[in-house]
């Protein structure tokens, strides 16, 4: 079953704008991760946030985690056309060996 669900399913913005994607999950977690997938390619890890962390930054990426609401958000600031991709959250849920992925947000950044 799906552990994480992203919202919105699709997002279209203008280059230079910020993009915010949300993820909700169901069980307790050790960490939550965000991945990016260009069309027809494998996934690439972006950032990992542990359950005892509330916010984390990496370049233009900002991730927040609210374990009380079982939710996370990924903010991409000053978006570029090259940011066009699908973005997935993943959690370890009830296992320490596997990651369960959400359904993803398809981001389109218009030049």
The footprint of other proteins on this chain (CB under 8 A) covers a number of residues equal to 26
Contacts of 15 (CB under 8 A, 6+ apart): 79, 80, 81, 109, 110, 111
Question: What is the C-alpha to C-alpha distance for residues 99 and 90, in angstroms, rounded to an integer?
Answer: 6
* Min dist. Cβ of residue 27 to other proteins (A): 13
Which CB sits closer to other proteins, 15 or 26?
A: 26
Q: Which two tokens stand for residue 21?
A: 């994607």
* Min dist. Cβ of residue 16 to other proteins (A): 27
Residue 21 in contact with other proteins, rule: CB under 8 A = no
Going by their DSSP bridges, the two strands 55-58 and 61-66 should be labelled as antiparallel
Which CB sits closer to other proteins, 66 or 94?
A: 94
Burial track 31-42 (b if 16+ CB lie within 10 A, e otherwise)? ebbbbbbeeeee
Residue 101 in contact with other proteins, rule: CB under 8 A = yes
Among positions 53, 56, 103, 108, the unique one binding other proteins when judged by CB under 8 A: 103
Binding interface with other proteins (CB under 8 A): 2, 30-31, 33, 35, 40-45, 48, 88, 90, 92, 95-104, 106
């Amino acid at each position: 079953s799906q552990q994480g669900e992203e919202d919105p399913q699709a997002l279209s913005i203008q280059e230079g704008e910020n993009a915010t994607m949300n993820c909700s999950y169901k069980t307790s977690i050790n960490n939550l991760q965000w991945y990016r997938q260009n069309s027809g390619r494998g996934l690439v890890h972006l950032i990992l946030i542990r359950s005892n962390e509330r916010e984390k930054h990496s370049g233009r990426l900002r991730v927040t985690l609210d374990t009380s609401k079982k939710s996370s958000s990924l903010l991409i600031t000053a978006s570029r056309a090259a940011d066009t991709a699908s973005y997935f959250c993943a959690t370890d849920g009830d296992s320490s060996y596997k990651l369960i992925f959400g359904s993803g947000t398809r981001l389109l950044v218009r030049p």
